[in-house]
Amino acid sequence: MAGREKRKRAAALDGDEQRRQEEAATLLHRITGLVRWVVAEVAAGRSPSVALHRYQNYCASAAASPCACSYDVPVGTDVLSLLHRGSHASRLNVLLRVLLVVQQLLQQKKHCSKRDIYYMYPSIFQEQAVVDRAINDICVLFKCSRHNLNVVPVAKGLVMGWIRFLEGEKEVYCIMNVNAAFSIPVSIEAIKDVVSVADYILVVEKETGKRLPRYSDKKAYALSYTFLFYFSELIFQIFLRYLVEQLHLPVYCLVDADPYGFDILATYKFGSLQLAYDANFLRVPDIRWLGVFTSDFEDYCLPDCCLLHLSSEDRRKAEGILSRCYLHREAPQWRLELEAMLQKGVKFEIEALSACSISFLSEEYIPQKIKQGRHI
């Protein structure tokens, strides 16, 4: 029986690899065709133009106003022309330069980061954001995801706990040492043979997850990433979505009780506006907010010294999030929690729970909340 299961799994892996190779070959063929067409148009003295759809997965519409936001229907189109003057010509020029790099990556079956691409033509690109936009434009143009282009981000996340998988030829055996944290893979295509005996996935803001001790009776594993001011850790989202699809486990998220923690949580559930064209394939719609909540401060009798007052910037951030259409349509309870934070005018971080005891977070807060269903 075990041998039969192994053969089935191997056959499935072979099938996935063949599908990926076919998709890469098709994408390369389409890119080559577009590049040849642009060269031919310019050589003939014509102005080649490219139409790019615009996507919007959320907006700042009032609760009573219907909006046109969608995960898969474009809300408009930009037409970029190479020989016309203006920003669109520059945008198409950058797109084509980045596309040539992507073409070489696919032809040679190699990977590089968007930062590597920027340093190939720094005087032309001027700033990293220009390259980021070009990569997004290419994804929209060819209806693919960034990892399909062999453009990978620098690893910004950690995985630990009851899981093991292969990353290429490397074996990642978190399950042999659940207290050790491992960098998440930068290429999702390199992952295979994922096995876990966990009951759930726990996503933790910052590196708090590294300090969670082993759950001897609750088989769990945690994901953690290093928090940045702007949440842009695409590889972490891809990896999380991959695990959810492979393992079919419930997912809980633990973030700071402040507007920026909430924004991270919302990005997991609804996707980011910057990657709206790909949001439906990156988001985890069923993710559950485990904490920390503003109300936890009183519920767990935390000392006043753990509290911080919301700054004017915090308030602007929270008010901007509250205006997003999805909080009115799909997550009214989340909206109420954020409104309560604004009303009380305070915030605190996950680490504040350690004021109860060093092991309170892992031994009481997390397992009790999951067991009692105290999440939204």
Quote helix, strand, coil % in the chain, to nearest 5.
50, 15, 35
105 close to 66: Cβ distance less than 8 angstroms: no
Active-site residue identified among 71, 119, 252, 365 = 119
Query: How far is 268 from 290, CA to CA, in rounded Å?
Result: 13
Q: Is 119 a catalytic residue?
A: yes
Strands 288-291 and 163-167: unpaired
Answer yes or no: are the C-beta atoms of 209 and 159 closer than 8 Å.
no
Query: For residue 17, how many other CB atoms are within 10 A of its CB?
Result: 12
Q: Which value, in Å, is the radius of gyration of the alpha carbons in the chain? A: 23
CB 39 within 8 Å of CB 9: no
Instruction: Decide if 150 contacts 112 (C-beta within 8 A).
Output: yes
The residue type at 373: G
Instruction: Report the catalytic residues.
Output: 119
